[in-house]
Amino acid sequence: DDYLAKPFSPRELVARVRALLRRTQVMPPPKPGFVVDGARVRLDGQLLNLTKLELGLLLRLLAAPQRIHSREALLNAVWGTSAEATDRTVDTHVKTLRAKLREAAPARDPIKTHRGLGYSFEP
């Protein structure tokens, strides 16, 4: 979430990296039923076949459950700021992620849509 224009001082780079590291959050343990092992995710013991982007979305939502994540924030976190993706791209990937979660646990729908705001994870 930072940008450094060229030419830049090495001291400025180190200072900004340290500031970013101070702002990073430790990811809390996943919610009950979810087991995250590297790039593998299990829900109630069933392995989910997620793409890299779906995994990124899920991990981002799991990192701050019950917090509303805007489409723009998810786009920047998962696709990066230079990606040529749109808000609709986020919607499409959330839709496929929901379908895969429902396959593993039909009674659950943990990803909630907040119209005009974004998405949240409700365990």
Q: What is the pLDDT of residue 87?
A: 83
0.75 exceeded by pTM: no
- Among 62, 35, 38, 60, CA closest to 46: 35
Report domain 31-121's class: mainly alpha
User: For residue 29, which amino acid is it?
Assistant: P
Q: Coil, helix or strand for 53?
A: helix
**pLDDT tens digit string along 84-111?**
888 889 999 999 999 998 888 888 888 9
* Per-residue confidence (pLDDT) for residue 91, from 0 to 100: 94
Look at residue 63 in the predicted model and tell me its pLDDT. Answer: 86
Q: How confident is the model at residue 66 (pLDDT cuts 50, 70, 90)?
A: confident
Spell out the residues 6+ positions from residue 110 whose beta carbon is closer than 8 angstroms to its own.
31, 101, 121, 122, 123
How large is the average pLDDT for residues 73-81?
Answer: 87
| Cα pseudo-dihedral 105, 108, 111, 114, rounded to 10 | 150
- pLDDT computed for residue 28 by the predictor: 56
Q: Phi, psi at residue 53, to the nearest 5°? A: -70, -40
Helix axes 52-63, 87-104, angle to 10 degrees: 90
Question: For the chain, what are the domain ranges?
Answer: 31-121
Distance CA 47, CA 40 (A): 7
Q: What confidence tens digit (pLDDT) does each residue in 12-37 have?
A: 988 888 887 777 665 555 555 777 77
